[in-house]
Amino acid sequence: MSFSSVSRRNFAKASLGAAALVSAGLTGCAGASGSSASASAASGPKPAILVTSFGTSYASSRHATIGAIESDIREAYANYDVRRAFTAQTVIDHIESDTGRHIDNFEEAMDKLVSEGVKEVIVQPTHLMDGFEYQDITKSLENYKSKFSKCALGAPLLASKEDQVAVAQAVKEASKRYEGEGVAICLMGHGTEAESNKIYATMQQLFTELGYNNYFMCTVEATPTFDDMIKAAKDAGYTKAVLRPFMVVAGDHATNDMADTTDPESLASKMTAAGFEVQSVLEGLGQLADVDEVYVQHVKAAIDAKA
């Protein structure tokens, strides 16, 4: 059985954030406390926070996850102009073709900030780790730093042990209603060839350290594999599985690679074939308020950092 779980609080908040973004445009980078931000607003364009995401063509998940993160950042930093950029050009093109609405890529968003005379910019990626996408943003940002009086980059979601614990606890809280006798909570990440793929093993170890022994990690494109996780859950004696994406959005990968029971290669199909009773929860990490708060704190750290 597959089902989607979207928190009412986050979806409403995200929808408001998405609506605001249509009129806001895109931007990136910040620098200053509330008082200096106010002074900047009085003398010129407001400082900006550019929330930079891979993106998704799944509108409902986009609003409930990326939109929720942007909304929480906007609420926390009212003196900043919060804007959106996506890094996946295929996603940008798909949305524009489908809806007629253009979402800036990173360079377009940064160029707009320069042309508008914005002086202070914070770039806050929503990426989970310091993988290839995050590294691309870091490299591209170097071309813009001389154009701003302050330009800072926020950390990815799982940058520190504190971040990792907060995310693990948020996932645990969101999943507790599914827990029960013989139930394994199976988390599917994307995976990467970058060295940062080790974060999945780190999170698996952390779940064990926290006593979350019924939580298991796997990835679509790297290690641990689907088969690795299935074996681990089966060897531990579990007979039921609740599948959740360990991704910011519950988009294409969650819908197809995880939950599609018509695809024999999906996680749901593989676990069913292995004898598990399976449920799929299409809820991205961005829908969890405590996860969004990690991003808010990363923005604060970037704002507080010296230019």
Say yes or no: 117 and 171 in one domain.
no
- Full domain range(s) for residue 82: 2-156+288-304
Say yes or no: 205 and 237 in one domain.
yes
Q: State the total domains in the chain.
A: 2
* Whole-number pLDDT of residue 159: 98
CA angle 44, 47, 52 (to 5 degrees): 140
The pLDDT-based confidence of 43 (bands split at 50, 70, 90) is: low
Asked whether residue 2 carries a pLDDT value surpassing 90, the answer given is no
Helix (H, G, I), strand (E, B) or coil at 29: strand
For range 221-238, the mean pLDDT: 98
Distance CA 55, CA 87 (A): 7
Say yes or no: 37 and 146 in one domain.
yes
Asked whether residue 233 carries a pLDDT value surpassing 80, the answer given is yes
Please write the tens of the pLDDT for every residue from 162-212: 999 999 999 999 999 999 999 999 999 999 999 999 999 999 999 999 999
Query: How many CB atoms are closer than 10 A to CB 22?
Result: 10
Say yes or no: 176 and 141 in one domain.
no
Q: What is the CA radius of gyration of the chain?
A: 20
Contact assessment for residue 209 and residue 168, using Cβ atoms and an 8 Å cutoff: no
Q: What are phi and psi of 279, to 5 degrees?
A: -125, 145
Say yes or no: 256 and 292 in one domain.
no
Say yes or no: 137 and 191 in one domain.
no
Distance CA 307, CA 299 (A): 14
Half-sphere CA count of 90, side-chain side, radius 13 A: 2
The conformation of residue 105, written as its DSSP 8-state character, comes to B
Please write the tens of the pLDDT for every residue from 46-95: 999 999 999 999 999 999 999 999 999 999 999 999 999 999 999 999 99
Say yes or no: 24 and 146 in one domain.
yes
Closest CA relative to residue 159, chosen from 302, 306, 307, 61 = 302
Q: What CATH number has the domain bearing residue 262?
A: 3.40.50.1400
Contact assessment for residue 200 and residue 245, using Cβ atoms and an 8 Å cutoff: no
Say yes or no: 268 and 293 in one domain.
no
State the burial class of residue 172 (Cβ atoms within 10 Å of its Cβ: 0-12, 13-18, 19+).
Answer: middle
Say yes or no: 49 and 31 in one domain.
yes
Please write the tens of the pLDDT for every residue from 5-17: 333 333 334 343 3
Say yes or no: 40 and 111 in one domain.
yes
pTM: 0.86
Helix (H, G, I), strand (E, B) or coil at 58: coil
Say yes or no: 167 and 123 in one domain.
no
Mean pLDDT across the chain: 89
Please write the tens of the pLDDT for every residue from 246-280: 999 999 999 999 999 999 999 999 999 999 999 99
The pLDDT-based confidence of 42 (bands split at 50, 70, 90) is: low
Asked whether residue 23 carries a pLDDT value surpassing 90, the answer given is no
The bridge status of strand 183-189 relative to strand 120-125 is unpaired
Asked whether residue 28 carries a pLDDT value surpassing 50, the answer given is no
The pLDDT-based confidence of 44 (bands split at 50, 70, 90) is: confident
Say yes or no: 45 and 145 in one domain.
yes
